[in-house]
Amino acid sequence: MVPENIDLVPPSRSVVEQASVPDPEALGERAGQDPLAFWAAEAAELEWSEPWEQVLDDSAAPFFTWFPGGRTNIVRNAVDRHLAGPRKNKLALIWVSEDGKETRTYSFHALNRQVTQMANVLKAMGVGKGDIVTIYLPRIPEIWFAMLACAKIGAVHSVVFGGYSADALRDRIDASESKLVITADGSWINGSVFPMKDVIDEAIRFSPTVENLVVVRRTGSEVTMDPLRDHWYGDLTSLPIAKGPCPTEPMAAEDPLFLLYTSGSTGQPKAIVHAHGGYQVGTYATTKYVFDIRDEDRYWCTADPGWVTGHSYGLYGPLLNGATSFMFEGGPTFPYPNRWWSLIEYYGISIFYTAPTAIRSLMRFGKAWPNRHDLSSLRLLGSVGEPINPEAWHWFHEVIGGGECPIMDTWWQTETGMFQICPQPVMPLKPGSAGRPFYGQEVAVLDEQGNEVPTGAEGMLVLKHPWPAMFRGLYHDDQRYIDTYWSKYPGYYLTGDSARIDEDGYVWIVGRADDVIKVSGHRIGTAEVEAAMDSHPDVVEAAVVGLPHEVKGQSIHAYAVLRPGANGSQELAEAIRLHVAQHLSPIAKPDGIDFVESLPKTRSGKIMRRVLKAQALGEDVGDLSTMDTEA
């Protein structure tokens, strides 16, 4: 919604005084006039072993290539280039264990040693350029080493979030034909062990491709090791194969860097492909400008490395800028709801990037918890994943940021790889709006016919220009790439979000306009949850919708048609919820399940989720003329 009377929040004096870019309007104007010159200048701040011949080649649009002819490697810029200068002994990573008893720190020099060691191990196990390695690890430094080690030798990483279950993991490993998987014996979740190794064993039991499983010791839990397939990482590193230098492979700018599976409207999750060259330029520049990141900063992105935020703004963006990052293994409320605040105080965090759902859940515990801590090291805050409601925005701004720290509400997607709509530190902010398009980008809000809607009206959000960190397609599925993103409004990238633009050009994201649900900022496709429900023996057919939820943003509500004779009891509902947790992920568990006789469908057999949603919300169900009369 665009509120009637918006309280514009001007930047504090200290922000203005320190700003690296005091006049983002002027820079935005220059970048707007010549986006390619802007991006070429950003790219030139990084190292390339061969210069690019062209900034952008759009001759085969929507298959765009950025910096064709150029050769580079994101690791060269994220790690190697810092070793030659004063950052060599600067901390790249500070990590704290969930129980707080363990701290591990890595300078850039030490990070390079770890990455080199893992890269040597991967190479010795036969991993080479273009091979896809699946990584299923907890929030521990090894997940960074693994991702960087893959990139260093030209392999492609495919990280699967540590909370996914065996079925979801198997689908992703099989689809990417990984020969090697990196995992851990277990992970810590609120004081207990999640058996990662057991989950992976189940996922790869009949895998036609996986030859080796590298296991990092984390929890010390008892696990079964297959003597032919499984290797303790700790054992491998003591072998001669792990020793010695490992060159960083010069890659073509367009060579793939990673795959990341994400949910879409329909069907199986899609593998988003990102490439070395453009991705490094986009994440480098956005981190630099939007977080105004500096050498003296201590930066904390709370997102798990398993999500795109953990890739672009956890790992790569900060390292490309030579920043010091903080990583915490645990969650915000264990053992008490002051956990994050105490870490910010203790480690002197200056930039803190998190999600609205976390802010809302911490808000519920009251400000007494953060008020016990000195949070004055903070200078800038960030939010991502879903719209932030003004109430949460103000709490974050006042209680956490002391009224002094600007909040960068950054809108972007797994597909975009980098921020597309976001404020700049010195920009006056409107709580609840993600600000304006990033340098070089323009957006529009369109109606069904492709006309721009009047100022302030809601419509489909599209991006008008290509950008360097854009995804290079869907793995092995060009047609789906074209159909999903580029067909509805030719020439424009369809975001799938609904939005409004106000008279100052500030964008207000309403939410997904498709069948994607954002639960606590996690992206979940209705089709995946429905498929998991359908696999329960008592369910004939299921439909799920996202309903507004005070803390999670959206919650999943399900409808199920049961097999004849099944008893629609509370116990069965609970069993189906558990089934979804086990077969997909606990984050995809429906909050409620209604048992129904049938589901409303169109004549062509598509489930009309819009009708179910309207009914659940007690709203007018609208035009039902295309509905199947039998249903």
Maximum Cα interatomic distance, the chain, rounded to a whole number of Å: 72
Rounded to 5 degrees, what angle do the CA atoms 574, 577, 581 make?
Answer: 135
Nearer to ligand WTA, 347 or 489 (CB): 489
Among 52, 194, 411, 492, contact with ligand WTA (rule: CB under 6 A): 411
Could you give the CA distance from residue 73 to residue 362 in angstroms, rounded to a whole number? Answer: 39
Could you give the CA distance from residue 206 to residue 51 in angstroms, rounded to a whole number? Answer: 45
Whether 92 and 271 have beta carbons less than 8 Å apart is answered as no
- The residue whose Cβ lies closest to ligand WTA is 414
Q: Which two three-digit tokens encode residue 589? A: 């568990």
Could you give the CA distance from residue 47 to residue 40 in angstroms, rounded to a whole number? Answer: 12
CA atoms within 13 A on the CB side of 338: 13
Site for ligand WTA in 69-128 (CB under 6 A): none
Nearer to ligand WTA, 178 or 495 (CB): 495
Count CB-CB contacts under 10 A for residue 244.
Answer: 9
**Is residue 526 at the binding interface for ligand WTA, with CB under 6 A as the rule?**
no
**Is residue 386 at the binding interface for ligand WTA, with CB under 6 A as the rule?**
yes
Whether 259 and 158 have beta carbons less than 8 Å apart is answered as yes
Nearer to ligand WTA, 290 or 509 (CB): 509
Site for ligand WTA in 431-450 (CB under 6 A): 434
Among 142, 171, 304, 409, contact with ligand WTA (rule: CB under 6 A): 409
Least Cβ distance, residue 96 to ligand WTA (angstroms) = 24
Nearer to ligand WTA, 145 or 395 (CB): 395
Choices 147-155, 179-187, 213-221, 383-391 (CB under 6 A): range interacting with ligand WTA: 383-391
**Is residue 139 at the binding interface for ligand WTA, with CB under 6 A as the rule?**
no
**Is residue 133 at the binding interface for ligand WTA, with CB under 6 A as the rule?**
no
The full DSSP string for 30-85 is: HHHH-HHHHHHHHHTTS--SB--S-SEE-TTTTS-EESTT-EE-HHIIIIIHHHTS
Quick note: the x/- pattern for ligand WTA over 299-328, rule CB under 6 A, is ---------xx-------------------
By DSSP bridging, strand 212-216 and strand 443-446 are unpaired
Choices 147-155, 322-330, 399-407, 510-518 (CB under 6 A): range interacting with ligand WTA: 510-518
Among 339, 523, 536, 583, contact with ligand WTA (rule: CB under 6 A): 523
Site for ligand WTA in 458-497 (CB under 6 A): 495-497
Q: H/E element holding 262? A: strand 256-262
Least Cβ distance, residue 279 to ligand WTA (angstroms) = 14
Nearer to ligand WTA, 69 or 511 (CB): 511
**Is residue 384 at the binding interface for ligand WTA, with CB under 6 A as the rule?**
yes
Question: Reduced to 3 states, what is the DSSP secondary structure of residue 310?
Answer: helix
Choices 53-61, 109-117, 358-366, 385-393 (CB under 6 A): range interacting with ligand WTA: 385-393
Compute the CA torsion angle 469, 473, 475, 476 (nearest 10 deg). Answer: -160
Nearer to ligand WTA, 188 or 412 (CB): 412
Could you give the CA distance from residue 415 to residue 471 in angstroms, rounded to a whole number? Answer: 5
Q: Which residues bind ligand WTA (CB under 6 A)?
A: 262, 308-309, 384-387, 409-414, 434, 495-497, 509, 511-512, 518, 523
